[in-house]
Structure 1
Amino acid sequence: MALPRTAREVLSLRALNRATLARQMLLARRKLTAVQAVERLAGLQAQAPNPPYIGLWSRLEGFEREQLTEAMRRRRIVRMSTMRSTLHLMTAHDALAWRPLLEPVHQRGLLGNHKRALEGLDREAVVAAARALLGEKPHTSAELGQALGMRWKGCETASLAALIRNNLPLVHLPPAGSWNSHQSALLQPLGDWLGSVEAPRATQDDLLLRYLGAFGPATLADAGAWSGLTGWKAVAERLRPQLRVFVGEGGQELFDLPRAPRPDPDTPAPPRLVAEWDSLLLAHADRSRVLSEVHRARVFTVNGIVRGTVLLDGFVAGVWKIERAKNTATVVLEPFTRWSKADRLGVEEEALELLAFTSDGEGERHAVRGPLSPT
């Protein structure tokens, strides 16, 4: 039986921060394979090819880029649309288990601009035709749209391609999604790419447990923001007897796994450079556990970019980017507040290690640039 609200333990903002960083392997780098890490993190946001590599570098000891590239080549990790109908890197098992559950999210992706373009269309026939085309060989999204447009004349090819992307679980075949790979992805149905690999279909209960393991303690709104799914209240009520329930500083109900790590709020959090579009910043409706609303506009830009961030004492204290010129690579830092000397030195050390990780050539000079106070 649930305890009265007044009897529940209150979790401070710092307690939420440290718990989340512990789940996200940002309090200390871990000794895991790329596959183990992607599974534990419940996927990695992957709109662009390089951020997932940097995301693993910031979390794993001795991580090398080839480890992730090889895992994709060997079909142990796949790049495809999953949560929020957004590209993620997922383990093959999770992709098979989770993608059917996320079908409603992908159907909502056809609303808006595509809704009018697809009105009156026999969608099942279009999807069947696309499946036949993809059964012959992989195609890019543009190729699919153009081929279908030859049969369904007058339909916008971009909307036809969107219909297929949102109705079929399509893998972006390597080298798409690999380090510095920017060519258009060839697409193939997940089952065709993985062959005999099987996984039981996940339930929404399963998904909540995995979400809390990677991002908890969290509210049901947080679970919705991460996944794009609705209906979490019924899920939480079914699982309530096996969950810990806390209260946040604002009175919100926070669900968690009983044995998940919840470090002391005073646990030291080392400086970290977090990748662009990192799920740390995208997996909660309320991001205040890592990002102050005051700084949100400097991280989430008007053109849809989520900038790389600097964590100091566990919270976003600035942004970073890499600038490359002939034989030189520089991490440019933009602090949001004045940093102490110790913090600056810690960030500079991380930045130089990041440059070594991202370098593609010998003899490249590395530097760090950035003011000590806000610009």
Structure 2
Amino acid sequence: MTLDQRASAPASTSRAPVVLSAGVLNRTTLDRQLLLARSGLSPLEAVGRLVALQGQDVNAPYIGLWTRLAAFTQDDLTALLYGRQVVRGSLLRGTQHLTPADDYVWIRPLVQRALSRAARATVGRTMPGVDPEELERLARGHLTGRTLTRPRLRDLLRERWPEADPTALAFSPQGLLPIVHTPPNGTWGRGGATPFTLAEEWLGRSLDPEPSVERLVVRYLAAFGPAGVMDVQMWSGLTRLRPVLESMHFLQKYQDSEGRVLYDLPDAPLVPEDAPAPVRFLPAFDNLIVAFADRGRLMTPEQRAQVCVGSLVHPTFLVGGTVGGMWDLEDGVLTLRPFRPLSDGVAEELAAEGARLLAFAGVEEGSVTVARCEP
């Protein structure tokens, strides 16, 4: 049975929920995220497996794939973007994601209502007198048949609303319309003025008029499960999903140590909590860090407060399967900021993995340093 077929599978025999420890949840999620052992999947298969890669930071998806795949180069993802097999645009929670084109055509329509609602609220709050429907219509007209940078589209819209807030005019269209950002924007080291084009024109096909939310739930659980309703909602940006999951009778039910109901695919294996978990570097905004409302399987509340600050999600490294600290790379120096003292063995493992990261990033004469733990 394929992942998408499971969304319409018949009910299974109910069983009393099994309680899963935080350790089992941790190792199972790491396994599904390709973080227990580097995978032999192709880059395109891996992007699909992960559903969508956070792409606010243009280099983050590259590092996210590098840390998960046995063989991956920067050119691999860049080629997928230029080949239109992977696209970059506003998707889950209205943030930038990279996702396979085959998935974008049904995921974007599924989240469109939430994105439109948020964009219209922004228009109403920041640009009184601007009609969101007219803004959407004009933006579509300007983009039809061509690609425009965000500043250029903003300037065209200001011809109609010269007094409107320029920042709101620049960013609102990507919530109101299915827009993708064309390369070289979004490739390694290439940010800057974002180019906009209509997704249907870039992909050469229409978007799914009747996407299935159950399909999205199945894909989420395959990549992140077992998980609860609030977790799915946090990750997707959708709401009122409890009736959806409760109606998917084929799903396996578990409980966590706090008694919360967790859902999973019926044939998805669980991983023992003592399974080895090597050190791994995760980029800013990594899928794993933002995919749960309750992130106890990954970090403590105190650590979360340091990693997730406002709209920022700092790069992290995993030690023993959980977040061991944060890192940054500047001027060829990879600095590790651990949350607790590191043993000599772990420090050596991190240094070796850090050297691999420097090589992947193209840093020829870099170094790895460990900052002092804060008391």
1:83 aligns with 2:92: yes
Aligned residues: 364
How far did 1:169 drift? 0.7
Q: Which runs of 5+ in 1 are unaligned?
A: none
Query: Among residues 312, 316, 327, which one is paired with 1:305 in the alignment?
Result: 312
Please say if residues 339 and 373 of structure 1, whose CA atoms lie closer than 8 Å, have aligned partners that are also in contact: no
String of CA shifts for 1:188-220, please: whole Å, max 9, x gaps: 010000114776743111111111011100000
Query: Among residues 297, 303, 317, which one is paired with 1:295 in the alignment?
Result: 303
CA distance 1:72–1:184, shift in 2 (3 Å):
same
Please name the residue that 1:349 is paired with.
352
Helix, strand or coil for the counterpart of 2:328? strand
Please name the residue that 1:153 is paired with.
162
Q: How does 1:255-270 map to 2 (within 5 A)?
A: 255-270=263-278
CA distance 1:130–1:371, shift in 2 (3 Å):
closer
Please name the residue that 1:182 is paired with.
191
Please name the residue that 1:128 is paired with.
137
String of CA shifts for 1:15-38, please: whole Å, max 9, x gaps: 100111011000000011111111
Helix, strand or coil for the counterpart of 1:166? helix
CA distance 1:308–1:237, shift in 2 (3 Å):
same
Q: Distance in 2 between matches of 1:201 and 1:342?
A: 53
Please name the residue that 1:93 is paired with.
102
Amino acid of the structure 1 residue aligned with 2:349:
G
Return the structure number with greater relative CO, CA threshold 8 A, min gap 6.
Answer: 2
String of CA shifts for 1:109-145, please: whole Å, max 9, x gaps: 2266532334443333322222121114211222212
String of CA shifts for 1:157-178, please: whole Å, max 9, x gaps: 3323333211111111000100
CA distance 1:318–1:122, shift in 2 (3 Å):
closer
Please name the residue that 1:340 is paired with.
343
Helix, strand or coil for the counterpart of 2:200? helix
Amino acid of the structure 1 residue aligned with 2:293:
A
Please say if residues 338 and 374 of structure 1, whose CA atoms lie closer than 8 Å, have aligned partners that are also in contact: no
Please name the residue that 1:323 is paired with.
330
Q: How does 1:1-375 map to 2 (within 5 A)?
A: 3=14, 7-110=16-119, 113-196=122-205, 201-239=210-248, 241-302=249-310, 304-324=311-331, 329-359=332-362, 364-371=364-371, 373-374=373-374
Please say if residues 22 and 261 of structure 1, whose CA atoms lie closer than 8 Å, have aligned partners that are also in contact: no
Q: Distance in 2 between matches of 1:133 and 1:177?
A: 22
Helix, strand or coil for the counterpart of 1:175? coil
Q: Which runs of 5+ in 2 are unaligned?
A: 1-11
Please say if residues 228 and 261 of structure 2, whose CA atoms lie closer than 8 Å, have aligned partners that are also in contact: yes
How far did 1:153 drift? 3.4
CA distance 1:201–1:66, shift in 2 (3 Å):
farther
String of CA shifts for 1:205-246, please: whole Å, max 9, x gaps: 11111110111000000000001101211111220x211100
Helix, strand or coil for the counterpart of 2:136? helix
Bigger shift: residues 119-128 or 78-87: 119-128
How far did 1:321 drift? 1.0
CA distance 1:371–1:48, shift in 2 (3 Å):
closer
Q: Distance in 2 between matches of 1:200 and 1:356?
A: 44
Amino acid of the structure 2 residue aligned with 1:297:
A
Helix, strand or coil for the counterpart of 1:287? coil
For normalisation by structure 2, the TM-score amounts to: 0.92
Q: Distance in 1 between matches of 2:103 and 2:133?
A: 26
CA distance 1:267–1:162, shift in 2 (3 Å):
same
Please say if residues 148 and 157 of structure 1, whose CA atoms lie closer than 8 Å, have aligned partners that are also in contact: no
Percent pairwise identity:
37
Q: Distance in 2 between matches of 1:203 and 1:223?
A: 15
Q: Distance in 1 between matches of 2:109 and 2:122?
A: 24
Q: Distance in 1 between matches of 2:292 and 2:272?
A: 21
Amino acid of the structure 1 residue aligned with 2:326:
V
Bigger shift: residues 103-112 or 62-71: 103-112
Q: RMSD across aligned C-alpha pairs, in angstroms?
A: 1.8
Please say if residues 339 and 372 of structure 1, whose CA atoms lie closer than 8 Å, have aligned partners that are also in contact: no
Please say if residues 124 and 130 of structure 2, whose CA atoms lie closer than 8 Å, have aligned partners that are also in contact: no
